[in-house]
Amino acid sequence: MADQKSERGGILGALGQFAAVIAIVLLTKTVAAEAYYVPSGSMLPSLLIGDQLLVTKFPYGYSRYSLPVPMAPASTERLLGKLPERGDVVVFRLPRDPSQTYVKRVVGLPGDRVQMREGRLVLNGTMLPLRRAGLGQMETDNGVVTAPRYLETLGGREHAIFKLSSDGALDNTREFVVGRDQIFVMGDNRDDSVDSRVSPVAGGVGLVPVENLVGRVDAIIGSWDPIVRHEPVWSWPSGLRLSRFFSRVN
């Protein structure tokens, strides 16, 4: 009888420890940080396909989308809420389909006027400074191409963008006015990013409610080039981009 009670107590203890670990993991993912994978090239050259991102959740406060599974009621107010800064790279839930998670750069805050003119970003009537910064390798549907690389200044900070032309479909837009409790986001790969320049009706992102923010991208914790998965298994370690491990995101 004593052995049965001891065995039962051991099982309950193990289950309790397992539940505690799960609770700690969920709490950490809700309050502190969570990892996200980059599946597309819309943020090239800043983020590469295969980057694993560390997304911190406390900089902007918390909403239902801070939860690993958004079960809380909808609300425009965030607990301990704070707006992003222009230039922040953020992860958010897609407004037209919150089951999808996107990563883009914040270029417009509530009240801002955002427009593209001949491939240049115009914020509140002022064209942002842009300077050439060599060439870079850009992944496209037709393979890797060499693309002009530029440095754009936004919010007093520089970040790299790719720009192949200045007369594409998204290079001349109407002026967007960012509403209250909204942000305007764009990809750094300006010719290949479905972002706030494209309306949800057309399959785009549109203006993003602040509520949909998950967190700020602060670092790359790992990176693996998925192209090597088409190679023999023993060559897969060559896809590790060790220089990107534990690097900051600008």
Token pair of 22, please? Answer: 């799960």
Q: What confidence tens digit (pLDDT) does each residue in 18-64 have?
A: 443 343 333 344 444 578 999 999 999 999 999 999 999 989 999 98
The residue extents of the domains of the chain are: 29-248
CB 111 within 8 A of CB 178: yes
Distance CA 13, CA 197 (A): 54
Q: Which two tokens stand for residue 243?
A: 């220089």
> Is-catalytic flag, 104?
yes
What CATH number does the domain located at 29-248 have? 2.10.109.10
What pLDDT is stored for residue 7 in this prediction? 55
φ/ψ of 135, rounded to 5, equals -125, 160
- Residue 188 is classified by DSSP as S
pLDDT of residue 11: 54
For position 86, what pLDDT does the model report?
Answer: 97
57 is annotated as an active-site residue: no
Which residue in the list 42, 63, 66, 193 is annotated as catalytic?
Answer: 42
Which residues in the chain land under pLDDT 70?
1-33, 68-73, 141-142
SS3 41: coil
Alpha carbon distance 74, 68 (integer Å): 15
pLDDT of residue 69: 63
The residues with which 162 forms a beta bridge, in sequence order, are 149, 189
User: Which pLDDT value is given to residue 230?
Assistant: 79
- DSSP-based three-state secondary structure for 19: helix
CB contact set of 85 (below 8 Å; sequence gap of 6+) = 106, 155
**Cα 96 to Cα 93: distance, rounded to the nearest angstrom:** 9
Looking at residue 44, its pLDDT comes to 96
What pLDDT shows up at residue 169? 87
Active-site position among 57, 63, 104, 223: 104
Q: Return the pLDDT at 26.
A: 38
| Nearest CA among 205, 204, 157 for reference residue 183 | 205
HSE toward the beta carbon, residue 173, CA cutoff 13 A? 22
Tokens 């425009």 belong to 76
* Token digits of residue 183: 């942000």
